[in-house]
Amino acid sequence: MSAFPRTPRIARRLGATTALSVLAVFATACTGTDAAPSSAQSDRVTLSDQWIKAADSGMSAAFGDLTNTGDEPVTLVAATSPASARVEIHEVVPDSTGAKTMRPKEGGITIPAHGAVTLRPGAEHLMFMDLLQPLRTGAETSLTLTFADGSTSVVTAQIRDFAGGNEHYVPGAENPAHGG
Ligand SMILES: [Cu+2]
């Protein structure tokens, strides 16, 4: 059942940096006076077919289709869930040996104008870093998405059995050049 290897906690520095940049963008957006109420990025991006991998403890991940109906790109900068102490935006990249590894994606995930990004095993995903309770197949949990303008949207995601998506996790502080 231990789908993910035990991994030491990583530094919280990355999360703090993300939060600060979100605040900075939000503060900038608030100084504008001509923003229409309908201009929130959260109104233009939807997450559909969303699901979360079942897990008893440790880490898991959420997947789905991010679709942007707007005329400008929108960046997803953070996510939270009551099911996990922390959620990170991850990407999957090959390491120096060609093996797939996942790591925090700097700057978040940008969804192109009138485009879509699929979060899926082996690609970008929302990583549940530290489950607060078991994620049981068939149950649901909520997921709050935060975009670059500070707007948020809440979606409900169903928990599913899934055997894959077990890429090795590379904490941000690790030196990728090691052994290369
Ligand atoms: Cu991950």
Query: The domain at 50-161 falls in which architecture?
Result: Sandwich (2.60)
84, 87, 94, 151, 155 from 143: Cα distances, Å? 10, 9, 28, 14, 5
- CA 29–ligand 1 middle distance (angstroms): 30
Residue 103 CA to ligand 1 centre (angstroms): 6
Is pTM, for the whole model, over 0.85? no
Alpha-carbon distance values, 178 to 10, 13, 76, 175 (Å): 18, 22, 31, 6
pLDDT band at 172 (very low <50, low <70, confident <90, very high): low
Whole-number Å distance, alpha carbon 163 to ligand 1 midpoint, is: 14
Instruction: Compute the distance from residue 46 Cα to the ligand 1 centre, in Å.
Output: 21
Residues around ion ligand 1, judged by CB within 5 A, are 90, 102, 127
Task: Dump pLDDT digits (tens) for 40-95.
Answer: 999 999 999 999 999 999 999 999 999 999 999 999 999 999 999 999 999 999 98
**Domain residue spans in the chain?**
50-161
- Across the chain, mean pLDDT equals 82
